[in-house]
Amino acid sequence: MPRIMLILLLLSTSLDVSAASIEDAPVPVSAPVYSDPIDEKANDKATCEAKWERYLKSQDCFAPYHNIDGSMKPGAFDNCIEYKEPSECPR
């Protein structure tokens, strides 16, 4: 009987540790890299494409940080750059 209790105790302890490590694990995301500066006032075709690409990369970076209730997980703004939707550029 003590042997079974010891096995159950060890099993429950290992399950608690693994569950805690899953919940506390950081979200693996790499911040998007933007090599060329973009003229924010320009709205020609090439500039608009670059703005949309930058915006979509930003959204992809933030995606794993979204909680169900709409809030953001810690580290989102440390690892991602927020860009607003380029409304001046039609899709």
Sign of the alpha-carbon dihedral angle for 66, 85, 41, 43: positive
Dump pLDDT digits (tens) for 62-80.
999 999 998 999 999 999 9
List, in sequence order, every residue forming a beta bridge with 66; answer none if it has no partner.
72
Q: What ranges make up the beta strands (E) of 1-91?
A: none
Whether this model's pTM surpasses 0.85: no
Question: According to DSSP H, which parts of 25-90 are helical?
Answer: 45-62, 76-79
Dump pLDDT digits (tens) for 47-65.
999 999 999 999 999 999 9
Dump pLDDT digits (tens) for 3-31.
776 677 777 776 554 444 445 555 555 55
